[in-house]
Amino acid sequence: MRIISWNCNGGFRKKFHTLENLNADILVIQECEDPTQSKSTEYLEWAGNYLWIGKSKHKGIGVFAKKGNIVKPINLDSKSLRIFLPFKINDDLNVLAVWTQGTESGEYRYIGQMWLYLQLHKDFFKSDKHLIIGDFNSNKIWDRKRTIGNHTHVVEALKEIGITSSYHHILSCDQGSELHPTFFMYRKTEKPYHIDYAFVSETLIHDSKVEIGNPNDWLTYSDHMPLIFTMNK
């Protein structure tokens, strides 16, 4: 199973062809348009079996199933937290697609949204097989800016329920010391950050791997690199 997460930086109706060579089973795309409200019939036809959520028809999370796979929504109330799309692949693997965002109040912004989401649904994530994947807009290096619900708190809360970062496990890398950026601010190579993640149940992590797209290939299209999560099943 090959699941790819990519913040496409908008205009996905013009970019979806760029992912064809990545051979995905499931695509999790942040900042993409709702296919049913797009003017591109080609994009709608390509979307096939898909899920989408967003506050604007122009920018949300899209989940696109390929190669005969099937995705179905999971009924978890996100309240006003943004943006989370829980779904199940082939009635087997539970996945939470993530694109954390800011808040009008300034409280619990970005990773704080993930922290609050976990408080709402921690019991759900304690059982079965789970993957939490997407653009978290967060890294441990920014912990000092938030005393409650920061990046480390989220990582620790997930660890307590048996879910850990595939990238950090496989590379034996500490949070905040990543070797592969997933985001380049303003698409500048001198401003690299690692803010996209794939957290997976520890029962599955030994059969998984994560790859990060090369900026030489992807900066033309987005400030984010594709995160490619592969799990042997």
User: Could you report the per-residue pLDDT of 25-64, keeping only the tens digit for each?
Assistant: 999 999 999 999 999 999 999 999 999 999 899 999 999 9
What burial class does residue 41 get, using C-beta atoms within 10 Å of its C-beta: 0-12 exposed, 13-18 middle, 19+ buried? Answer: exposed
pLDDT per residue as tens digits for the range 171-211: 999 999 999 999 999 999 999 999 999 999 999 998 899 99
Cβ-Cβ contacts under 8 Å for 42 (sequence gap 6 or more): 13
pLDDT for position 207: 86
| pLDDT at residue number 206 | 87
pLDDT of residue 145: 67
* Angle CA 152–214–175, to nearest 5: 15
Residue 121 tokens, joined = 């649904």
pTM of the model: 0.96
For the chain, state the CA radius of gyration.
16
Of 79, 80, 100, 13, the closest CA to residue 50 belongs to 13
Per-residue pLDDT reduced to its tens digit, 122-171: 999 988 899 999 999 999 999 976 678 999 999 999 999 999 999 999 99
Mean pLDDT of 67-85: 96
The pair of structure tokens assigned to 17 is 């062809």
- The per-residue pLDDT for 103 is 84
pLDDT of 107 strictly over 80? yes
Question: What is the architecture, at CATH level 2, of domain 2-231?
Answer: 4-Layer Sandwich (3.60)
What pLDDT score does 34 carry? Answer: 98
Looking at residue 106, its pLDDT comes to: 75
pLDDT number for residue 189: 97
In terms of phi and psi (left: phi > 0; alpha: psi -120 to 50; beta: otherwise), the region of 108 is left
Per-residue pLDDT at 127? 82
Q: What residues does each domain of the chain span?
A: 2-231
